[in-house]
Amino acid sequence: MRRAGHAEWTKLRTDAASIWLLLGVIALTMAVGAGVTSTARCDAAGCGGDPARLCLTGVMAGQVAVAVVAVLMVGNEYGTGMMRTTLTAVPRRLTVLSAKAAVLTAVTLVAATVSVLGSLLIGWLAGPGRGFTAAHGYPALSLTDGPTLRAAVGSILYLVLIGLLSLGLALAVRSSGTAIGVVLALLFVFPILAQVIADPDWQRRVQQIAPMTAGLAVQTTAGVGTLPIGPWQGLGVLALWAVAALTAGGRLLGSRDA
């Protein structure tokens, strides 16, 4: 496992596209979060804003780069034929899957942590100037605050789970383009579908099973009781999607030739 993990890390760090994409996770997440924070406004007490969630909005953009990194870890090998070399060097398919998942988790954790902490720092600096002050009922953002800490940790875990979900789907379909399309559809079609459903009960059910909508509930720090699903329960739904994708991808990896 150690040698397999080292091989996966070597392949990842020598791929310029993956390195730039990981830097893109940080840049996109922080830039979008800064843009949203700078345009938000709270002019009076009880304005209904959620400063933590606002500055973490960029996670929705950063997840796309995370998904592409995960897909390329598999798609590039199938596209170039390197997967045959990988499976010859490491015949145990479960070891290959575990090594890829471990390396992806490690690099995503680093990128996600920098992104989330940077976004919260921007919110801490810019929020008071946009009216999110103690006088309006919004103390400065702080990781010592339970809901804010949960939003931060949950956002990091969210990006990691998106990566693992994408890795599993890429192993299942074996094509980078197809896998990216499937991941993006899975993330963004559900929210669109929820908006066009007229029945409130069915709309709520769709939101409860949608990987992105349910997963990002963990960012909410205000009005949690109005969510279609609880913060940690929502992240659990995304975790189930990731486990299902990795299980399917792992089984197909073990049953098919490279």
* Global confidence as pTM: 0.94
Angle between helices 146-173 and 231-255 (to 10 degrees): 20
In sequence order, what DSSP letters do the residues of 127-160 get, joined into one string? GGGGT-SGGGT-PPP-TTSHHHHHHHHHHHHHHH
Q: What sign does the CA torsion over 228, 232, 234, 237 have? A: negative
Over the chain (258 residues), the average pLDDT of each successive run of 10 is 80 88 95 91 76 94 96 87 78 87 96 97 86 79 91 97 97 91 94 87 92 96 89 97 95 75
pLDDT of res. 257: 65
pLDDT of res. 136: 79
Q: Please measure the distance between the N-terminal and C-terminal CA atoms of the chain and give it in whole angstroms.
A: 20
pLDDT of res. 258: 58
